Amino acid sequence: MPVPNARRLILPLLLSQGLATPSRVHAQAQTAGSAVLRGVVFDSLITSAPLEGAEVWIETTNRMAKSDVAGRFVLNALQPGRYVLTFYHPMLDSAGLSVPPVVVDVLAGDTSSVALATPSPIQAHHLLCPKDPLQQTGSFLGLVQNTADEKPIAGATISAHWTTYDIGQGAVRNTPRSVEATTDASGHVLLCGLPTDVALVIRGRSVNGKTGMVVIDLKGRSFARADLHLAATTVTGTVKGIVRNHNGSLMPGARVTAVGTEAATQTDDYGRFSLTGVAAGSGIVEARAVGYIPGRAEVTVRPGTDDQVDIVVGDSVTVLDPVVVTAEYEPYLSRVGFLQRKKNSAGHFLDTADVRRSGANRFEEIFRLIPGVSLRPNGSGYLVELGRGEGNILNPRLGNYCPPAYFIDGVFYPLPPIQTPSVPIMPAEILAVEVYSDMISAPPQYQRRDAACGIILVWTKRGVPKQRPSR
C-alpha cells in the first residue's frame, strides 16, 4: 500500500461508539459465503460534509475503494473475518495529517456498514495546540509550495496578521497583532493562538525574499488550512477577469489592484480588466467601485500565464439623507462683550476701521483719537495718560505720571518698571480698543485696586479662536 511522502501528524480518531461499531444489515450476499462492506467518509475537519475522492484501503491487502461525491464507498466479495481499514485523501496529505485505522468485523452473508471521518477541528486544535484555550483561539496549518513546480519550500517565514480594538477611557485604540512560524522540511507550518472571529491575512516570505499572501476566516471554527505559493525567482504574470456586482451586472470604471503591490488597472466598459506585472505566487486582487463595498479574490499567479478571476464587489453603500446643521456665527468681539459694551457703557471705543484711520505706526499713537487722553513724549516715544493724580510714579522727572492698567485679550498685562512703558502690539494686530478713564466705569471683571488711573482693554487678532478645518 502506498504511503504519501508528506510528514504526517498522527491524530487519534475519536469517533463515537456508533461510528466505530459497524451495524449489520442482513442482505443477500453476492456469492455464497461472501460479504459486502459499505461505508461513508465524512470530512469533519474542513468542510463538515461528505468527503469525495478518499481512498479506503484494507490493510495488508491491495483492496481499495474510492469514495464518490456523497462520500460513499463499497468493498465487495469479502471473506468473513476482521478487517483493518484506513483511508487517505489529498486534503489530509497536504495538511500533513492522517487518521489511525478502524477495525471492522464482517460476517458471511451480511452487508456491513461503517463510517469513517477525519479529525474534527476541536480534536485537531487540541492535539496541535494543547496550550491554547479552545473557546478563544484557533490554529492554522499551511503547506508552502514553489509556484513553478509545486515542490515544498522549507525555511519560509509564515505570519498571520489581524487587528484588535481596545476600548479604554475616552478612546478606542487599534493594535496590530501577529503570530509567526517557519515551515519545516516538508513545507508545512503550524500557527496557534489565532482569533476565530476575524479574517486573518496570512503572509509568506521565502529565504530569498519572495512573498505571497492569502486570507482565511475561521468563522468560529478551531482549525483551518490553506496552500501558499511562493516564487523561487523574481517573475511576474498577468491576472485577467471581470468585475461584477451581486446582481451580475458588469462594473465599468472599477479600480483593480494587487494588494501589497503597485500593480493597478481599471475595468473597461464591459467590466473587464487585465492586470499585468503581478508578482508570481499567492496573492489577493481587490476591486473598488464608487458606491460599492470593495470585493476581493485570491489568485495564484504563475510565470508567463494569464490567470482568470471574477471579482464580485459588495452591496451598494446606502447613502443616508443629508443632515443639515444650522449654526449661527458669533463674532469674536461679540463673544468678549465689546459690541454690547459699546452700546451701553461710558467708555471710548475704537474698532479696526478707527485704528486704520488713525494712521498710527506705534501702539500709543492710536489714542490720539480719544478725547481726554494725553500722549506725553519721553524722548523715544509716548506715555499714554488718561488723567492726572497720585499713582505709581515710574519716573519722577516726568511729573506725577499715573499709568493706566492694560488688559490684552482679557488678560492683565503689567507694565515693566522701565522709563518707557510700552505694550508690545503693532496697530495692524488690533481688532478693537476700550478706554475707561476711571476704575468705576470699567466692566467689573476688569476692575483692579491699582487701576485708579483708568483701564485700557485691547482686543487683538491673536486672541481670535482658530477655526477647525472642515471635514
pLDDT in tens, 452-464: 888 999 999 888 7
Last residue of a domain, one of 76, 99, 119: 119
Sheet holding 236-244, edge to edge: 272-279, 236-244, 306-312
Last residue of a domain, one of 230, 250, 285: 230
Average pLDDT across the chain, whole number: 80
CATH number, domain containing residue 400: 2.170.130.10
Last residue of a domain, one of 94, 119, 144: 119
User: Is 282 contained in some domain?
Assistant: yes
pLDDT at residue number 138: 84
Question: Quick check: 228 pLDDT over 50?
Answer: yes
Cell numbers at 434, concatenated: 476700550
User: Is 142 contained in some domain?
Assistant: yes
User: Is 244 contained in some domain?
Assistant: yes
Domain count, the chain: 4
Identify the residue with better confidence: 95 or 410.
410
Q: Are residues 44 and 140 in the same domain?
A: no
Q: Are residues 350 and 368 in the same domain?
A: yes
pLDDT per position as a tens digit, 241-281: 999 988 888 999 999 999 888 889 999 999 999 998 888 88
pLDDT per position as a tens digit, 185-211: 888 888 888 888 888 999 999 888 888
- Point out the least confidently predicted range of 90-94, 235-239, 404-408: 90-94
**Distance between CA atoms of residues 190 and 204, nearest Å:** 13
Q: Are residues 137 and 86 in the same domain?
A: no
CATH number, domain containing residue 88: 2.60.40.1120
Q: Are residues 411 and 340 in the same domain?
A: yes
Q: Which residues of 161-177 are buried (b: 16+ CB within 10 A; e: fewer)?
A: ebeeeeeeeeeeeeeee
Work out the number of other CB atoms within 10 angstroms of the CB of residue 25. 11
Give the percent of the chain with pLDDT over 90. Answer: 24
Question: Quick check: 310 pLDDT over 70?
Answer: yes
User: Is 39 contained in some domain?
Assistant: yes
Give the domain extent around 102.
9-119
User: Is 4 contained in some domain?
Assistant: no
User: Is 2 contained in some domain?
Assistant: no
- The pLDDT-based confidence of 4 (bands split at 50, 70, 90) is very low
User: Is 326 contained in some domain?
Assistant: no
- The pLDDT-based confidence of 89 (bands split at 50, 70, 90) is confident
pLDDT per position as a tens digit, 133-148: 655 788 888 889 998 8
Q: Are residues 374 and 416 in the same domain?
A: yes
Question: Quick check: 65 pLDDT over 80?
Answer: yes
